[in-house]
Structure 1
């Protein structure tokens, strides 16, 4: 076990990551609001955390999620997941990344935060969208929702311009149905599932 100053240094580094992630989410939130989008589900970005002494794996903030819709179409929207570590399932990432999602809820359900959005692109039901857009993934949850998403390494999102270019603008284009235009924004920087795991 780490002792003394080493523990404090590790703790300080974890706190710094949390503060930087909060700032990053604030930038994303403010840009979407500027474009006329509304965040849904309150200000909470995590759930299923643990306070139990026997579940330290879930003490850590391994993901954060934020979802946005418009007043005109509350069943469609966009969202982001910042993922530091896998929780379960198919993913074994070697770097922190952002999963950027276009989401369409089925059966007139109002869109909200979901575990399904968290798993988009790397669940067992996720497939490459098509040959032309080979770094986009489509995940279908029958009678629930359909999600098209892509993965960005966290380190390419170092400023507001990058966030706007690689997250906000392409997600708005996906929302509008302009898949090829969205792909042009991100194809040089987004990663495949295989690349995330290598």
Structure 2
């Protein structure tokens, strides 16, 4: 299988405010997504679409309740039903975020032509007041027989940024690709000698 290789370009410089932890994490997460998708993984947006769908239903429910209540203030049963629906859908949305999404920045489908039946879940952490960025690659379906072991990289963000806040993409690219390679090698069947 031919691997699509995209190298970072000098024209698209990514710069972060080094005093803003969210700015640093956002640039690193965005770069990780670019790197993983450049390796042939296609993004799985089903969970995002489900969250958007639930969000739209919640908004429509809230609007209906607001305007219906103004027009027909005597009908409290309908308003109570809207409030219950609102609470239930918000609970479902929070449950999805807590159980499925966690710190995930990217969900993928399995590689085309791959023997594996599971994609990746790429997640990251950058604790507040810390310079240690942790990137984790897991199987999207950890119970699958083709799931690989979780691999993790923890490194100081000072390794990847200049003092001006410019991301040294070549170094970051190498580290992330090495992590993807570690995950892929762990899943390959062992060759008999």
Per the TM superposition, whether the score is higher than 0.5 is: no
Q: Which has the higher strand share?
A: 1
Q: TM-score, normalised by structure 2?
A: 0.41
Q: Which has the higher helix share?
A: 2
Could you say which structure has the larger radius of gyration? 2
Q: TM-score, normalised by structure 1?
A: 0.40
